[in-house]
Structure 1
């Protein structure tokens, strides 16, 4: 199809994945219609870690500068034994990260990232955002893709040559992809893990309790066989975000729920008194079940549908790469479609193949992290010895493949 002909992109879901996709496609000159089911752009979760592989893309898209004003550049990732509070390892970040990987490592409130993306999208007249629109049907054919949406009791249709499903772990678009191949759509799978989260003011009693045992300028991870907890500053350092992970029973699907706090307290048996006191003071904790999506299912269809982010490959967050993978998905999808304007089906095949390999490697790293962080007995001793003999530079080098990743240069076809 000639480049001069308008090629509209329809995106379902205005979270991090969908907003990034809208900005990325807009940067390539595509008209974009971005739909969100919620009446307003609610923020899911609290804190977020953005490693250099993600911030490099945000910089290229003109988003990073907006985010930097509210984000924090942690000086290190610090691993501590939850029972003794002894430091086990320290991976340098800060200026060292930017020098090594060419982009900063940031921690921020998810709302700040979403705001930065929304502001950038609003600057592009080719991007239209419509909230309160629920996807009800998708039809594919020679005309491209037609999405039918319900909004305020009325039916709205949007046509494009590509529908991007960025609607999260409980994706409606994923069901369309599976119907297209004549298969039942698999539901997301509960991983058996619960995430507990809370945010406290740095000057509060809980904030001061954390300052006494953690690294207030870094990402601190407390390791224990029954749980692990990650803590870091957000909102220019005015608050601390805490998230703890335990085994647990399935609770209602959703991002913010409540579970028996005794589960977290029981998982923390044997921890240092200061950490147990912090967990009690930092409450109440909101709980959400960690769901994953089977990654063997297709992420694209030849008719012009692509899944990105959690809709395609929701994984447990133990590599802290959920947002980064969504950002990578969005930017690379836009780049491949722009590079193959006359053969979008081929672009989708190439994109999916490349992304599958990358995402699989990240998922394996997350599984390894969980095993190491929850290790007990001889395995924990081996982990501690490994961390002790590795220098800070060697620990950073272990992450070069992850944080140093850059989108390959694509020759226009």
Structure 2
């Protein structure tokens, strides 16, 4: 057995962050990734201060920073009139308030930065084209069986970390084999080059320097710059039916065009001008179910608690999970106790974030009297007051942060 050996399933944001965090604490780490190559998938994401401060501590932020954008504000606009309803200051103001930057980036750029950092650490080994086939709990640890290029092998470890996403194959290891559930919402995603016709069309009525959410009873659309402001990430959300459990290809914008038909003409035209769109059914995972097994298994990120993106915290929660798990295991003499304490500490925060996302979704898609009440509420809130409402989320730091040493 290797008492300080960690095996991680999945080389996404959660898995790579966990690998770096564990290596930083003196563990040897083996990452098993099913994909034969880490391809550029996904779309834009928001990296709030609660995540960037951790990424900075892990030596990742400086790598990804040149490809990110530091937006000036989060802005809420009416999709029909384009009138601004609220503004939360970001940029330098956010960094002063929350002691870390608020950034936006392409998911692939963050994953690449995490991979580059992991490759700098000798105690991390990444195996691509490798599928976990079995995990056996033993009295002296764990044996992980895997298949790589048709060859079956196994490795012993003290902990198995499942970071294999919303459609996790490892979730069954800590409880009933419950699958993720369709949330009822579809995400429509696309990226515009800033200097393209569609990019210039967007810039003519919206600020490319902010994270802007357009509010409407039938949809909402979030837009922000990525890749050093050379591109614009668009994500529209509509009600719909579950259609697939993987990224689709080019998708007809007919349903999105119908949802946006009552929006301001400039905004509605994006349904066609910004095509092709990638459509994604939003699935969630019941976060109240077990995340750990006392024998030495832990689920992190979407494998444990996939949530809708309406609080823009999916990546941030994965980063928090990974960092805190490594700290908990490194600081304890009993792995089972460490896992139990980590799960108990994480669940209330993740649940609060999910509730915030549900509130945002309700407010952003409100109509009629509810939308009028929302607008009045936002009118009475100052930008500083709206920022203060997010202190609990963006201002969070891991317990014992001041005592934590550097790599």
Structure 1 residue runs without a partner (length 5+): none
Q: Which residue of 1 aligns with 2:195?
A: 203
For the residue of structure 2 that corresponds to 1:213, the secondary structure is: coil
Q: TM-score, normalised by structure 1?
A: 0.95
The partner residue of 1:368 within 337, 359, 382 is 359
The answer on whether the counterparts of 2:3 and 2:157 sit within 8 Å (CA) in structure 1 is: no
Mapping for residues 7-406 of structure 1, pairs under 5 Å: 7-178=4-175, 183=176, 185-257=177-249, 259-340=251-332, 342-406=333-397
User: How far did residue 257 of structure 1 move?
Assistant: 4.5
Unaligned runs of 5+ in 2: none
Confirm or deny: 8 A CA contact 1:78 1:215 kept in the other structure. no
CA distance in 2, matches of 1:296, 1:336: 20
C-alpha displacement of 1:249: 1.1
Number of residue pairs the alignment of both structures matches: 403
How far 1:16 moved relative to its partner? Answer: 0.2
Give the drift of 1:6: 4.6
Q: Encode CA deviations 1:88-136: one digit per residue, 9 max, x unaligned.
A: 1110000000000000000011111011101110111000000000111
Deviations 1:15-72 (CA, angstroms, capped at 9, x unpaired): 0000000000010010000110000112331111000000010001010011111100
Q: Give the TM-score normalised by structure 2.
A: 0.97
Q: Does the aligned pair in 1 maintain the 2:311–2:354 contact within 8 Å?
A: yes
Task: Give secondary structure in 2 for the equivalent of 1:159.
Answer: strand
Large movers: runs of 4+ above 2 Å: 255-261
Note the C-alpha offset of 1:260: 4.6
Report the alpha carbon displacement of residue 176 of structure 1 after superposing the two structures with TM: 1.7
Rounded to whole Å, the distance in 2 between the matches of 1:214 and 1:35 is 43
RMSD after superposition: 1.4
Output one character per residue of 1:135-170: Cα deviation in whole Å (capped at 9) or x when no partner: 111101112111111111100212110000000011
